[in-house]
Amino acid sequence: MLSIKNLRKVYSDGTVGVDGVSVDIPRERIFAILGTSGAGKTTLLQCLGRFLEPTSGSIELNGRNIAQVPMRDFRRQLGIVFQQLHLFPHLTILENLTLAPTKVYGLSQSEANEKANAALSQLGIAQLAQSYPAAISGGQAQRVAIARALVLEPDYLLLDEPTSALDINTTREFADWLVQLKGQTTFIIVTHDLPFAKQTAQHAILMEQGKIAVRGTVDEVANQWAGDE
């Protein structure tokens, strides 16, 4: 269970990014954090990923405050795929996937290769193992970034605006296989793409001005958001 309790983040200039957010996110589902630009969803994601320190409140993962979890262990429990993807351009796709498992977590090269190839196969991109990031499409790069995160077998995987660089057809394909992967990890999708959220997520929150404006099933949240627009 990922539990956010009365979380508040105030920036040094006085801007309130997140204001009293409380929500529980159980395992084995796809959960969407919805909202327009400036609603606070990116600040919340950065607090969840420990890139920002909350002003007050707490985030607990499996009953433990994430601030007390050693970073090396935390990164295996909660992964994140940023909008920019951050693939290393000088490494092959396979090397991108095996770098952290071998250099940070001590897996043998053969074990890391086996896990990486399995992840690439599962996402339908096994043929890209020896390619470089510059030679693949945006949709393929998105899959590679998620495969890289899945190699570490995290409990939760945060996806930051995952459809921002994808066209309509690629977004639809991406949504289909994301649903197929939900048994492997719990995806938390930060997005303003309402159709994508409805295609993938079961539950959602809608953020406005740093607060949770609506919570419930993704359809309930979507209907309320659509009604407000």
Give the per-residue pLDDT at 172.
Answer: 85
In tens, the pLDDT along 141-151 reads: 888 998 998 89
Give the per-residue pLDDT at 206.
Answer: 96
Radius of gyration in angstroms for the set of CA atoms belonging to the chain, rounded to a whole number: 18
Q: Which residues are 25's β-sheet partners?
A: 2
- The percentage of residues in the chain with a pLDDT greater than 70, rounded to a whole number, is 98
Give the per-residue pLDDT at 226.
Answer: 63
**Structural domains of the chain, with CATH:** 2-228 (3.40.50.300)
Q: 27 versus 9: which is more confidently predicted?
A: 9
- Range name among 118-122, 150-154, 204-208, 225-229 with the lowest pLDDT average: 225-229
The pLDDT of 105-131, averaged and rounded, is 92
Cα 177 to Cα 171: distance, rounded to the nearest angstrom: 10
Q: Compute, in degrees rounded to 10, the torsion defined by CA atoms 30, 36, 37, 41.
A: -40
Q: Could you tell me what percentage of the chain is helix, strand and coil, using 3-state DSSP and rounding each to the nearest 5?
A: 40, 25, 35
Give yes or no for a contact between 212 and 225, defined as CB atoms under 8 angstroms apart. no
Query: 7-11, 36-40, 61-65, 189-193: which has the highest mean pLDDT?
Result: 7-11
Arithmetic mean of pLDDT over the chain:
91
Is the model's pLDDT at 189 over the cut of 80? yes
Is the model's pLDDT at 179 over the cut of 80? yes
